[in-house]
Each structure stands twice: as C-alpha cells, then as structure tokens.
Amino acid sequence: STYYAYPLYPIQPNWLDWSNAWIIGWVINYYGTCLCFCGVVLSEENGLRVGLAWCIGFLTLGSPVACLWMVVWLARRAGGSWTQ
C-alpha cells in the first residue's frame, strides 16, 4: 500500500518515487469515487443520454461539473422553493 511504502509525512516532493506513488493513488481514488457518483447520477437522471453526458463531464472536467450537477439536482428537488 502507498501509505506503508511511501508515508504521507514527511512530505517528500523531491523524491520521484514518492511523488508518483501519491499521484497515482489520488487519481485512482478520484476515479473510483467518480464512478460511484456516476451510478447515483444515472439512477437520478430521466434519460440515459443525459446521465452519460454528466458522467463524461465528471470524468473529463472533474469537480466543477459534479458541483454543477449537485446545484441542478437540488434545484429540481426543491422545485424552485429555495429561491423564493
């Protein structure tokens, strides 16, 4: 595991193996979480195309698209009452 082979502290940005191990770990964690989030989005969206478009946005553009989906989802759930 990255935690045992390359401890997070002390931070060692000048050691290439340490940096690569943590970058790869973060990327795997992000995409793993993102795929779970895509499952939620696909179950919530009305059409498969719309859900897949959101998922492609999450996987390519990252958290800004995920935050936008959350705002859209909350606005739909609230029915506009949160803006009144």
Question: Per-residue pLDDT averaged across 52-69, rounded?
Answer: 95
Q: For residue 41, is pLDDT > 70?
A: yes
The pTM of the full predicted model, rounded to 2 decimals, is 0.75
pLDDT the model gives residue 79: 72
For residue 41, give every residue at least 6 positions away whose Cβ sits within 8 Å of its Cβ, in sequence order, or none. Answer: 51, 54, 55, 58, 69
pLDDT bracket for residue 82 (50, 70, 90): low
Contact 61, 40 (CB under 8 A): no
